[in-house]
Amino acid sequence: MRLEPAQTATQIAELIGAHVKGDANRLVTGLNEINRVEAGDLVYVDHEKYYTKALNSAATTILINKDVEVPKGKAILISEDPCLDYNKLVRYFNPLVGWPETTAEVGTGSEVHPTVVVGANVKIGAGCRIMPGVVLYENTTIGDRVIIHANTVIGADPFYFKKRPTGYDKMIPCGSVVIEDDVEIGALCTIDRGVSADTRIGQGTKMDNHVQVGHDTRIGTNCLICGHVAIAGAVVIEDGVTLWGQVGIPSKVTIGKNAVILGQSGIMSSVEGGKSYLGSPAKETKQMLREIALTGRLPELFKKLNG
């Protein structure tokens, strides 16, 4: 989320009662979570396992729960509860908005069914068709010539929580969804907004019914995604990828350009582009088919070994 106007590290610290070290005049131009940070951003970290990653990231202001050495040119804000304070900042700079009575900004020639529910600051491009029952949460951007079929929900909150002894604290989102030109999205799909950046569906990509796309995932151009595919948060799917039915993809992996993932496969780690994969855990298709064939011969081989 961009901050306009930018705030100094000192100003941010005053809002949450944190202690500043390092460059107190460092300008904070945005709030972001660790997977999408860039220069000028503030990121929070509250677990020793991730201290080094956050301190060495592109973020130039770090909200942290430990007094540590400040990286050159950066600022740190020391807080007893960085997650809670980060949520306070999100709500301060991005207050809750209701569902406005006014319609979205709609481009020439677009058809939006009367039952479509539209949040604040939604933009719909030219030549689109938005079918009955679609829900477009706040800050969603739809490109030109996009088709969204019935009862799809775009921009719902990320499935992102911090576990505490008392239960789970919700991570308050301030991100968005961007659907680029010439995308078609099937019925009953769900595309979650980014935590603090955007979830993005690339130009020309086609999605079947019942597809789930998690927060901050970036899907490239001209991908083909079949029914019941589930994609977790912070995934990168490069251009031209095909995901057949019921494929599952966990968070923070990359699917390489023009890869093909066959039906019901489970990806456990990043995979190279230009290849076909099968199984759970998925392997290259030729290797998996050989293993399946050999598995089928196990009773015969066992019988021979035991005479």
Catalytic residue among 47, 113, 215, 228: 215
Query: Does the active-site annotation cover 215?
Result: yes
47 burial level (CB within 10 Å; 0-12, 13-18, 19+)? exposed
List beta partners, residue 199.
Answer: 177
Maximum alpha-carbon separation in the chain: 81
Long-range CB contacts (within 8 A, 24+) of 95-100: 97/138
Q: Indicate the residue type of 111.
A: E
Tokens (6 digits) for 118? 């539209």
Contact 230, 251 (CB under 8 A): no
Q: Give catalytic residue positions.
A: 215
